[in-house]
């Protein structure tokens, strides 16, 4: 009985220590002072006619705060290298955003606890490596 109580106490103290001293990675500087505006879907081409019709019916989404900031920092026509370098430096992971369009690139930074946002950035480059599209979203689940 004492062994079980000691084991439970040890596990509780270990859990508390991890919770107190395990500090999550800082939120990327890129999203400082950017409000959460929900999840933006990737700018992928419609996969089916039904999906295309649903998108037309839904209409265009209003521009998000992060997308507006990104377009000011990395305007269309500028080189995509600095955008990608900054995202990597701030801890974003690159991922293939669209299975049906390999020209769309995505990067994500996933919050490590409930108080941190999930951030997604999408961009497209032309043959010369220039940005033709850039957008992003910040989403907080509470």
Tokens 């006619």 found at: 49
Give the pLDDT of residue 88.
96
Of the pLDDT bands very low, low, confident and very high (cuts 50, 70, 90), residue 17 is very low
For residue range 106-138, what is the model confidence (pLDDT) as tens digits?
A: 999 988 887 788 899 999 999 999 999 999 988
Give the pLDDT of residue 115.
78
Q: What percent of the chain has pLDDT over 70?
A: 76
| Closest of 108, 114, 107 to residue 140, by C-alpha | 114
Report domain extents, the chain: 26-139
Residue 133 Cα to chain centre, angstroms = 16
Of the pLDDT bands very low, low, confident and very high (cuts 50, 70, 90), residue 28 is confident
């Amino acid at each position: 009985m004492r062994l079980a109580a000691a084991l439970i106490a040890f596990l509780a103290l270990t859990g508390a220590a991890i919770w107190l001293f395990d500090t999550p990675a800082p939120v990327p500087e890129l999203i400082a002072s950017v409000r959460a505006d929900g999840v933006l879907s990737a700018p992928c081409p419609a996969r089916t006619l039904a999906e295309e019709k649903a998108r037309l019916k839904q209409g265009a989404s209003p521009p998000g705060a992060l997308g507006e900031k990104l377009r000011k920092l990395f305007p269309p026509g500028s080189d995509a290298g600095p955008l990608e370098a900054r995202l990597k430096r701030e801890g974003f992971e690159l991922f293939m955003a669209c299975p049906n369009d390999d020209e769309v690139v995505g990067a994500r930074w996933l919050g490590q606890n409930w108080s941190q946002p999930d951030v997604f950035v999408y961009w497209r480059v032309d043959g010369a490596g220039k940005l033709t599209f850039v957008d992003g979203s910040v989403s907080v689940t509470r």
